Copies of this chain bind each other. A is one copy, B any other.
């Protein structure tokens, strides 16, 4: 069987903020045969994540953990889709799957490969306790796992602790803040527009929120929002925001270093943390990502799923349509145009 496929590729390595012109949509064919052992998936949703930018650079520390992306090549990414043909006994046509496949309309994977075995799995959607398929790429996908792991495994919040979340209306931040509220913390988030700030306070239940773009001095802003200091900083931004958070942290404060989007593009200047703050306040800064908690995903997912059913977590998804919208959707992550999890819906 052969299907026409279209996939998104970079035209070149991307070093600064990405633009649509850095990408192209390439046509090819996906060939599946009954003796290949492979599964052919028609992708229904593609996950659009900031960290992909690091993979597009010539060199990046991200290459320690995930392969770099070569111009012209397909780009591995989380997707959710439906099996259209299977040469594996584990999958059948009609199965709904989620996993690391690619920014493309159709994906082939081999369930016997360790990578696919670790990352691709079947999900049930719709009735009978199922969730919308898109949720498996957002709140029940790596965004949710990152928020949950970063909060509960890395930061270990105690009730009443003060939590600051940057990029708080983003895919991970919006969940980290809500999870921190559910843990009994006082939570303040920052975002880049008044509409996002309103959303955080009015819909997501943050105790407070502010527009960082309207704060000439982030240190004094945080001093205002946290007169008793910050215990946990859920860090998605980097640069000056990290410096300001450290200056306002309490003794034994924890920084869950989830992302530093302002430093991915190289446009924002890098954080120059005052290490004396880190020493004398005995702060722990820990880098992590969701996969560190892979064995705990079922446990995390069960808790989060229950919260969603009980209406305790609002899921923000920002969905574009069609494979051709991927470049613009990805570029928009770095200009702050998305709210919540950025997804592209296919077909």
The number of times this chain is found in the oligomer is 2
CB-nearest residue of chain B relative to A242? B275
Encode A267-278 as 1/0 by CB contact (under 8 A) with B. 000111111111
A278 with B257: CB separation less than 8 A: yes
Confirm or deny: A283 has a beta carbon within 8 angstroms of a beta carbon on chain B.
yes
A280 with B64: CB separation less than 8 A: yes
A54 to B274, CA, bound (A): 13
A285 with B278: CB separation less than 8 A: yes
Question: Which of B60, B275, B279 has a CB less than 8 Å from the CB of A276?
Answer: B60
> Which B residues touch A287, using CB under 8 A?
275, 277-284
Q: A249-271: which residues lie under 8 A (CB-CB) from chain B?
A: 251, 257-260, 263-264, 270-271
Confirm or deny: A238 has a beta carbon within 8 angstroms of a beta carbon on chain B.
yes
The range of chain A's interface size is 35 or more
B275 with A271: CB separation less than 8 A: yes
A292 to B282, CA, bound (A): 9
Chain B nearest CB from A67 CB (Å) reads: 12
Question: Which of B62, B65, B274, B285 has a CB less than 8 Å from the CB of A285?
Answer: B285
B275 with A272: CB separation less than 8 A: no
Q: A141-196: which residues lie under 8 A (CB-CB) from chain B?
A: none
B251 with A275: CB separation less than 8 A: no
B61 with A277: CB separation less than 8 A: yes
Encode A287-331 as 1/0 by CB contact (under 8 A) with B. 111001000000000000000000000000000000000000000
Encode A44-73 as 1/0 by CB contact (under 8 A) with B. 000000000010000011111110000000
A64 to B282, CA, bound (A): 10
B276 with A263: CB separation less than 8 A: yes
Question: Which of B257, B259, B270 has a CB less than 8 Å from the CB of A272?
Answer: B270
A46 to B272, CA, bound (A): 35
Known: A65-B251, A280-B61, A281-B61. A275 touches B289 (CB 8 A): no
Q: Can you pick out 16 interface pairs between chain A and chain B where the beta carbons lie within 8 Å of each other?
A: A61-B274, A62-B280, A64-B251, A242-B275, A260-B276, A271-B272, A272-B272, A275-B287, A278-B287, A279-B288, A280-B289, A281-B287, A282-B289, A284-B284, A284-B286, A285-B286
